[in-house]
Structure 1
Amino acid sequence: MCLGIPMTVLAVEAGSAVCEHRGERRVVSTLLVGDVTPGMHLLVHIDTAVRVLDAAEARSIEAALDGVQAALDGRDFEPFFADLIGREPELPPFLRAGAK
């Protein structure tokens, strides 16, 4: 399984960017997402940016990753998924009946 990690752009180079996640810096290819600027958030898979994220979405992914770690550690993980607690699961719009 491959997880996408939200990373923050620190510096831009030709076709790549120096990005950081929780203190770890990596050079990430930006060829799939186009031009980026310092401060932007990117969803990164195997050192390749696959999507630009807004700050709220980056925080949501960070919380989910923290929740997975809490579950693996045997700790309470529900607070990390507050947006999912108390509601029925929903299919994304493109998978719902009648979607085109």
Structure 2
Amino acid sequence: MKIVSLSADGAWAECVSRDGSVVETLDLRLVGAQPVGGWVLGFLGAAHSVLTAEDAARVADALEAVTLVQQGHSVDHLFADLVDREPELPDFLKDRQD
């Protein structure tokens, strides 16, 4: 969620979802002071993680994918970085491949 305003003490933030459909007040005490315009991952009324704009976009795409899958739609466009490529092992597993 994007922070659109802060309480006087900075402990609470009025936040809006990326598509503007959800407005929520989140407790910022778990993540510390944040600027207006910043992005946070909110759950049960609290900000749990600070996100970059890119991370926020990925989270929003993943949440949209869940909805689309439940409706029987394709989600490939939301995961363009994963479609049509072979998975890659992390470096620490490559030597154990066989």
TM-score by length of 1: 0.77
Q: Distance in 2 between matches of 1:75 and 1:89?
A: 27
Q: Distance in 2 between matches of 1:32 and 1:89?
A: 34
For each residue in 1:30-87, what CA deviation from the matched residue of structure 2 results, as whole angstroms up to 9, or x when unmatched? 0011011110000111111011111111111111111111111101111111122223
**Alignment partner of 2:37 out of 36, 39, 49:** 39
Residue identity matched to 2:3: V
TM-score by length of 2: 0.79
Cα RMSD for the two superposed structures: 1.9
CA deviation after TM superposition for structure 1 residue 8, in Å: 0.4
Instruction: Mark the structure with the bigger radius of gyration.
Output: 2
Q: Distance in 2 between matches of 1:71 and 1:39?
A: 30
**Alignment partner of 1:8 out of 2, 5, 8:** 2
Higher strand share: 1
> Which ranges of structure 2 fall in alignment gaps of 5 or more residues?
94-98
Which consecutive segments of 4 or more residues in structure 1 shift more than 4 A? none
